[in-house]
Structure 1
Amino acid sequence: MSEFDRWEARFKEPGYHFGTEPNAFLKSKAHLLKSGQKALSIADGEGRNGVFLASAGLDVLAIDFSPSALKKAQALAKDRGVALRTELADLETWTWPDAAYDVVVGIFFQFLVPASRTRVFANIKRALKPGGLVLIEGYGLKQLEYKTGGPGVADQLYTRSMLQEAFGDFASVEITEYDAALSEGDRHVGMSALVDLVGRK
């Protein structure tokens, strides 16, 4: 089964597999967001994070390669009374814009092999305006022990050095590695090894 088929089958199932509330890390950084900013939420899935950004007054484009996920995202946005633009897009083939966004958010997009991830990281940087904010959360290597979510493949997990290498040329970079219990839908539940990045271009 291809990666697309796997995710599309998952998102076709009823319910919101990662819940309808925003990712805890993203929510904790709400003070860095400003109403009216242009935001891009990549691999946004069923829309919980894109809808949160829209609820904070941002102009949000949420992209994902699953039509079923984006349909749920639009339903969630309607339910919450916010406008959310969505676009069907594969991160590896999407035409990334230059310096178009004030904020780029990437939460648990760890389906990419290392070469593809390197290209996507570079495109995230390209899409940010000067002074723009990037917020990324993913699983660290210890997640292989916890097995509470994520790809279960070491080279698709994050390390401090990997993120430092990718975003170290930013004006500021804060990388935090820690363990915490997640409760995000029925897919991200239990003690987890997390790696967060807050970067300013």
Structure 2
Amino acid sequence: MWNERFSGKDYVFGTEPAAFLRRAEPYLKAGQTALAVADGEGRNSVWLAEQGLAVTAFDFAPNGLAKGRALAKARGVEVDFQLGDITQWDWDGAAFDVVAAIFIQFVGPDLRAQIFDGLRRALKPGGLLLLHGYAPRQVGYGTGGPGVVENMYTVPMLAEAFDGFEILRLEDYDAEIDEGVGHSGKSALVDLIARKP
């Protein structure tokens, strides 16, 4: 489904990063290593590379990766794009200073727990987790996301899932977003910026 969705000429979620990433910019430093999880068409990984980070990005849709490579070339940055399935990614293969997981809510609670464990393992000690997604009321807004309440985030859920991390930002809020045809309009969002001990 995703490979087909990314097959068109236009970028489904646009070419600019999620607004959440721009808000996280003060925590980022040039030279850090970063992993962009299920990065789609590359808008977030390319922006991280533009900030001077050494970025690895993976997605399981070859069409998305091709568009990410084209975007990186157009912006004059390098990203190590890799074909990979989030359910089979080698979370222990490398440790990163930053792990960005933005709108990865296409999995249910059981698999989500496995992926959250992977995100923790992929971070170096002191590494920064950037996790951004939708709150349950997003289903009623219908402006993006999977439309499945069980896949959404809540503040208590993320606080429990990343217990022991230093929470730098954990907030549930509504905002108007304009991220291509895929994310557009009033949205119920949850941000987590947290540092691994």
TM-score by length of 2: 0.97
Residue in 2 aligned with 1:150?
A: 145
Q: Distance in 2 between the 1:123 and 1:154 partners? A: 22
* Structure 1 residue runs of 4 or more that deviate by more than 4 Å after TM superposition: none
Residue in 1 aligned with 2:166?
A: 171
Please show how residues 136-147 of structure 1 align to structure 2 within 5 Å: 136-147=131-142
Query: Considering only aligned residues, what root-mean-square deviation do their CA atoms show, in Å?
Result: 1.0
Q: Secondary structure at the match of 2:52?
A: coil
Q: Distance in 1 between the 2:117 and 2:165 partners? A: 12
Selected match of 1:114 from 96, 105, 109? 109
- 1:121-152 alpha-carbon deviations (Å, 9 max, x no partner): 01100110011000111000110111100010
Which ranges in structure 1 are unaligned for 5 or more consecutive residues?
A: 1-5
Q: Distance in 2 between the 1:175 and 1:105 partners? A: 15
Give the paired residue count: 196
Asked if structure 2 preserves the Cα contact closer than 8 Å seen for 1:167 and 1:173, the reply is no
Query: How high is the sequence identity, in percent, across the aligned residues?
Result: 52
Question: Which amino acid in the other structure matches residue 72 of structure 1?
Answer: K
1:169 positional shift: 1.4
Which ranges in structure 2 are unaligned for 5 or more consecutive residues?
A: none
Q: Secondary structure at the match of 2:129?
A: strand
Q: Distance in 1 between the 2:69 and 2:138 partners? A: 31
Residue in 2 aligned with 1:105?
A: 100
1:98 positional shift: 6.0
Residue in 2 aligned with 1:160?
A: 155
Q: Secondary structure at the match of 2:6?
A: helix
- 1:36-90 alpha-carbon deviations (Å, 9 max, x no partner): 1000000100000000000000000011010000000000000000001011111
